[in-house]
């Protein structure tokens, strides 16, 4: 079995922005969002991205009896000691939307000069073959940038309108989806995760060949 012939893989995310990006990057693979399989979101109790990604993948694999991919991602701002970090999606409260979170970020950074507004998006992606997989494949992507003092651009989601991408002289909300996916923390993590899954499967294949199976 190769990655491209794996049966369905459940994607442990309910975030439409992330689902859109991950499906675009994994276009050749049979990915089904967990919302289509009635999976109830698990509580994100971890204090690190990797813990939360594993919690989400295990929950989806358990409920769907399928291999699962999960990501946990967020924005890490140096001037805020790493906040919003793992609570990026609920920075302004449990029922906050993207705009509330972005406005809170701008308030917290009021008066901070441009050169101290360094930040990065982090994405950890995990693949678990089943809920008790003791050895998940884990990949991380990092995307460096700066936080503006106002929102610019309509694309993407979350903090994209305030995330300045120095290499392209614009915010990530001004980048076409295909360009964002090529640069982003999520694009990098997915590429690395795909390579890890393929390598794992190649190792198993090589062992079988060595055994003459
Ligand atoms: P998660 O669902 O716990 O991984 O939450 C991730 C949160 O981090 C999102 O809801 C956004 O607020 C933020 N985030 C992660 N990736 C991006 C991105 O590519 N653009 C903008 N915001 C992002």
Q: What percent of the chain has pLDDT over 90?
A: 76
Measured CA angle at 4 (ends 2, 193), to 5 deg: 85
> How high is the mean pLDDT of the chain?
91
| Average pLDDT value for residue range 68-92 | 97
CA distance 31 to 174: 27
Comparing 34-38, 95-99, 133-137, 147-151, the range with the smallest average pLDDT is: 34-38
Q: Whose CA is nearest to atom 7 of ligand 1?
A: 89
Quick one: pLDDT at residue 200?
Answer: 77
Contacts 24+ apart (CB under 8 A), 128-133: 128/54, 128/57, 128/58, 128/61, 128/67, 128/68, 128/70, 129/61, 129/67, 130/61, 130/65, 130/67, 131/58, 131/61, 131/62, 133/61
| Average pLDDT value for residue range 26-34 | 81
Comparing 12-26, 33-47, 172-186, the range with the smallest average pLDDT is: 12-26
CA distance 68 to 58: 7
Task: Output phi, psi for 122, to 5 deg.
Answer: -120, 140
Quick one: pLDDT at residue 143?
Answer: 98
Atom of ligand 1 at shortest range from CA of 86: 3
CB 12 within 8 A of CB 70: yes
- DSSP strand pairing (9-11 vs 31-33): parallel
| Average pLDDT value for residue range 130-141 | 96
For 137-156, how does the pLDDT look when each residue is reduced to its tens digit (9 = 90+)?
A: 999 999 999 999 999 999 99
pLDDT at 1 over 60: no
The phi-psi region of residue 81 (left if phi > 0; otherwise alpha if psi is between -120 and 50; otherwise beta) is left
CB 81 within 8 A of CB 112: no
Contact residues of ligand 1, CB 6 A cut-off: 15, 44, 72-75, 88-89, 101, 121, 156-160, 184, 186
Q: Which CATH number fits domain 3-210: 3.90.950.10, 3.40.1160.10, 3.30.420.40, 3.40.309.10?
A: 3.90.950.10
CA of 1 to the centre of ligand 1 (A): 32
Q: Whose CA is nearest to atom 11 of ligand 1?
A: 158
pLDDT at 3 over 70: no
Quick one: pLDDT at residue 130?
Answer: 96
Let me know if 72 is a catalytic residue. Answer: yes
């Amino acid at each position: 079995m190769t990655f491209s012939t794996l049966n369905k893989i459940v994607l442990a995310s309910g975030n439409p922005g992330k689902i859109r990006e991950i499906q675009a990057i994994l276009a050749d693979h049979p990915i089904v969002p967990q919302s289509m399989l009635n999976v109830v979101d698990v509580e994100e109790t971890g204090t690190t991205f990797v813990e939360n990604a594993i919690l989400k993948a295990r929950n989806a694999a358990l409920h769907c009896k399928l291999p699962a991919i999960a990501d946990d991602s967020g924005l890490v701002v140096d001037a805020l000691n790493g906040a919003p970090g793992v609570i990026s999606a609920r920075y302004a409260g449990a029922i906050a939307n993207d705009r509330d979170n972005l406005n809170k970020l701008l308030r917290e950074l009021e008066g901070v000069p441009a050169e101290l507004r360094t930040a990065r998006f982090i994405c950890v992606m995990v693949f678990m073959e089943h809920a008790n997989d003791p050895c998940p494949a884990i990949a991380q992507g990092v995307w460096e940038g700066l936080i503006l003092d106002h929102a610019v651009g309509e694309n993407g989601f979350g903090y994209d309108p305030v995330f300045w991408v120095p290499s392209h002289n614009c915010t990530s909300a001004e980048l076409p989806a295909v360009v964002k996916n090529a640069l982003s923390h999520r694009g990098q993590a997915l590429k690395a995760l795909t390579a890890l899954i393929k390598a794992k499967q190649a190792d198993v294949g090589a062992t079988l060949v060595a055994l003459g199976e």
